[in-house]
RNA sequence: UGGGGCGUGGCCAAGCGGUAAGGCACCGGUUUUUGGAGCCGGUAUUCGGAGGUUCGAAUCCUCCCGCCCCAGCCA
């Protein structure tokens, strides 16, 4: 990973640095990214991925990929595949260290047995409601289950029979015997195993008992000799339990460290809610370009470099925070500005006839592919008597400071000639401008004039007879409120009430320069003065170009015009 | 009125007793064949509040206030 910005230090790096210095774990650093395969990865996961793999990279360590697949009814193979594809696309490699918690089911079962033998776990036959009632509340201690003092042999037998499928779901659970009076609810005899007759995506029907997160996660980390187990803040209360298992079982002491998950303005990060958008058809799928998912962002035209840079810039801390979407967009623009090939595309075309330009003449003009990168070279763009320019680049009554085309004014056509507006025609029916007549200055070929006169405006354009038709999707934020969840809760409304009806606008009849015929998915393009675009990997087909706008360019004029109002 | 965390500019975030980094956003200027990009400059007398310790506190102590998380056989 070259040219990567140096991430500023953070409390986790300090902990690791101190651990290495003190010789803990022999100076070894090993982390892991442990997704549950029950949905697609989103930008919040990207933060965690960059953190875990980044730490391993920077401290000469390793980072494992481990699927936390202990709940068969929510998990699916589709997600284990998408997750691997997304992590790889982000630029990280787990080599041969791909693990599944389900691969540890036998070992976990043995550890549970050992806990029973040590008198630290028991089979409880209370039902779910009873267990909840016995747990107590935040302010009242819990009560011990009447089954809490079953003997070791009975517990072992019951647990074996749970595994053997002798009981129905909910009949029994295995619980740790810790402290029903603990102020930390997680320590009030937490459930370790529950019975579920469900098809598991990997173990099929081999198992009908499944370990709970706390038990499986702690031990899995230890099995893999994870030195620093990094998770989000809501697991802080689970740490005593995480440590309890490893201590009681005398296992490798992985250390859990918690950091604040990412929140991003104008979107949501909850897997459950994202799933809801997909299921209800409010978006086209997990990879809808408006989704904050890795798949959605990839399809939108985000680069892995931009996302990694973003992850480095937002930092890692324990404070709840919501990062401004503007920072993400900035990271994308900064990356794409360096590498995106420039093209001209007219999204809302209006025809211009250059009345003094010879009919039937076509000349090829040289255009720079990327002013930020000489190596990108140049291309030839066809010019002719009739061209399209952007409708908003012409005003019958130009406002102050407007220096684009208007009756009598002169502008530069990028890479081409200076043109001056001599006439225009309205469409009676729509009241819109139908056609503009201009004259061009033959001396200004290439966009310069011998007399060095200044033209303030430069417009992009496309030759009518050479233009390619294209469809362009313009995206805006998925929600209208920076914090739609909080807003919905505050106003007792539905989250969906704050979906942005303008989050996706489809433009048809756009005119793009002929070179774009060679456009391919996965490439990044800049449409001059408009923004960064990419070919839609799903909708676009040869002869039917569909571009997605990844992010706009900064638009100073829009800002000025807004202020004038 | 249980426990666990967190409070530094609009949004992130360094800072770890020696007198408030950096980024984004914003505002100026400059430059420009993208009103893009670039470049230069500006924006916290102050670190949730109040006391205290100290020659000196965002950093240490005390109290107060605010926000987040926890009562799944979810992760």
Instruction: State the Cα angle at A164 between A159 and A167, rounded to 5°.
Output: 75
Nearest protein residue to B32's C1' (by CA)?
A456
Nucleotides of B under 7 A from a protein CB: 1-8, 10-16, 21-27, 33-38, 67-75
* ipTM value: 0.97
pTM: 0.97
Q: Along the 565 residues of chain A, how does pLDDT read in single tens digits?
A: 334 555 679 999 999 999 999 999 999 999 999 999 999 999 999 999 999 999 999 999 999 999 999 999 999 999 999 999 999 999 999 999 999 999 999 999 999 999 999 999 999 999 999 999 999 999 999 999 999 999 999 999 999 999 999 999 999 999 999 999 999 999 999 999 999 999 999 999 999 999 999 999 999 999 999 999 999 999 999 999 999 999 999 999 999 999 999 999 999 999 999 999 999 999 999 999 999 999 999 999 999 999 999 999 999 999 999 999 999 999 999 999 999 999 999 999 999 999 999 999 999 999 999 999 999 999 999 999 999 999 999 999 999 999 999 999 999 999 999 999 999 999 999 999 999 999 999 999 999 999 989 899 999 999 999 999 999 999 999 999 999 999 999 898 999 999 999 999 999 999 999 999 999 999 999 999 999 999 999 999 988 999 999 999 999 999 999 888 7
CB A370 within 8 A of CB A376: yes
List the A319 CA – B54 C1' distance (angstroms).
Answer: 30
Sequence ranges of chain A with CATH classification 2.40.240.10: 271-341+470-564, 348-460
CB A71 within 8 A of CB A210: yes
Sequence ranges of chain A with CATH classification 3.40.50.620: 13-259
> Is there contact between A555 and strand B, defined as CB under 7 Å from any strand atom?
yes
Nearest protein residue to B67's C1' (by CA)?
A320
Q: pLDDT digits over A316-328, tens only?
A: 999 999 999 999 9
List the A182 CA – B52 C1' distance (angstroms).
Answer: 35
CB A66 within 8 A of CB A223: no
Domain A348-460, architecture per CATH: Beta Barrel (2.40)
The strand pairing partners of A389, in sequence order, are A350, A461
In terms of Cα–Cα distance, which of A459, A457, A503, A452 is closest to A480? A503
CATH for A271-341+470-564? 2.40.240.10
DSSP run (H or E) holding A530: none
In terms of Cα–Cα distance, which of A159, A173, A165 is closest to A130? A173
> Is there contact between A5 and strand B, defined as CB under 7 Å from any strand atom?
no
Closest nucleotide to A172, Cα to C1': B73
Catalytic amino acids of A?
36, 261, 271
In terms of Cα–Cα distance, which of A474, A461, A459 is closest to A393? A459
Q: Answer yes or no: CATH 3.40.50.620 is held by domain A13-259.
A: yes
> Is there contact between A454 and strand B, defined as CB under 7 Å from any strand atom?
no
> Is there contact between A553 and strand B, defined as CB under 7 Å from any strand atom?
yes
List the A548 CA – B46 C1' distance (angstroms).
Answer: 46
Q: How many alpha carbons lie under 13 Å from residue A62 in its C-beta half-sphere?
A: 12
Token couple for A92: 């990280």
DSSP run (H or E) holding A242: helix A239-248
Q: Considering Cα of A487, then A488, then A489, then A495, what sign does the dihedral take?
A: negative
């Amino acid at each position: 990973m070259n040219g990567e910005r140096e991430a500023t230090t953070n409390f986790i790096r300090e902990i690791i640095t101190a651990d290495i210095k003190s010789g803990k774990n022999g100076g070894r650093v090993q982390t892991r990214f442990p997704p549950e395969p029950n949905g697609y990865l989103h930008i919040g996961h990207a933060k965690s991925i960059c953190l875990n793999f980044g730490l391993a990279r920077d401290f000469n360590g390793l980072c494992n990929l481990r699927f936390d697949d202990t709940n068969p009814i929510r998990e699916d193979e589709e997600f284990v595949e998408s997750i691997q594809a997304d992590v790889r696309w982000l630029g990280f490699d787990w080599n041969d260290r791909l693990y599944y918690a389900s691969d540890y089911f036998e070992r976990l079962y043995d550890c549970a047995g050992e806990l029973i033998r040590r008198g630290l776990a028991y089979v409880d036959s209370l039902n779910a409601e009873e267990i909840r009632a016995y747990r107590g509340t935040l302010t009242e201690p819990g009560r011990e289950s009447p089954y809490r003092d079953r003997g070791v042999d009975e517990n072992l037998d019951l647990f074996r029979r749970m595994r053997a499928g002798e009981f129905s779901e909910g009949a029994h659970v295995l619980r740790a015997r810790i402290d029903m009076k603990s102020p930390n609810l997680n320590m009030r005899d937490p459930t370790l195993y529950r019975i579920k007759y469900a098809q598991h995506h990997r173990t099929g029907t081999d198992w009908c008992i499944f370990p709970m997160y706390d038990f499986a996660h702690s031990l899995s980390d230890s099995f893999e000799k994870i030195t620093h187990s990094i998770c989000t803040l809501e697991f802080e209360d689970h740490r005593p339990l995480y440590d309890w298992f490893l201590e009681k079982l005398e296992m490798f002491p992985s250390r859990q460290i918690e950091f604040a998950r990412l929140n991003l303005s104008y979107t949501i990060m909850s897997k459950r809610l994202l799933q809801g958008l997909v299921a209800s058809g409010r978006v086209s799928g997990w990879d809808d370009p408006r989704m904050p998912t890795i798949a959605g962002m990839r399809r939108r035209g985000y680069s892995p470099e931009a996302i990694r840079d973003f992850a480095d810039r937002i930092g890692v801390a324990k404070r709840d925070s919501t990062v401004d979407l503007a920072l993400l967009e900035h990271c994308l623009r900064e990356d794409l500005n360096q590498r995106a090939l420039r093209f001209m595309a007219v999204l809302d075309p209006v025809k211009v006839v250059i009345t003094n330009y010879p009919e039937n003449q076509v000349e090829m003009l040289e255009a720079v592919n990327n002013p930020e990168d000489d190596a990108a070279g140049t291309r030839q763009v066809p010019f002719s008597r009739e061209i399209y320019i952007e409708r908003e680049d012409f005003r019958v009554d130009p406002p102050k400071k407007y220096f684009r085309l208007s009756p009598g004014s002169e502008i530069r056509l990028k890479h081409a000639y200076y043109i001056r507006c001599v006439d225009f025609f309205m469409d009676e029916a729509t009241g819109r401008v139908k056609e503009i007549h201009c004259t061009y200055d033959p001396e200004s070929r290439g966009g310069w004039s011998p007399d060095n006169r200044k033209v303030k405006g430069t417009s992009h354009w496309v030759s009518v007879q050479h233009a390619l038709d294209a469809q362009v999707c313009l995206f805006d934020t998925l929600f209208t409120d920076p914090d739609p969840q909080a807003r919905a809760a505050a106003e007792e409304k539905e989250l969906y009430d704050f979906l942005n009806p303008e989050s996706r606008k489809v433009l048809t009849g756009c005119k793009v320069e002929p070179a774009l015929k060679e456009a391919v998915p996965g490439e990044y393009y800049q449409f001059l003065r408009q923004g960064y675009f990419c070919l839609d990997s799903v909708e676009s087909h040869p002869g039917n170009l569909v571009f997605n706008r990844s992010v706009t360019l900064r638009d100073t004029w829009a800002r000025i015009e807004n202020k004038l109002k």
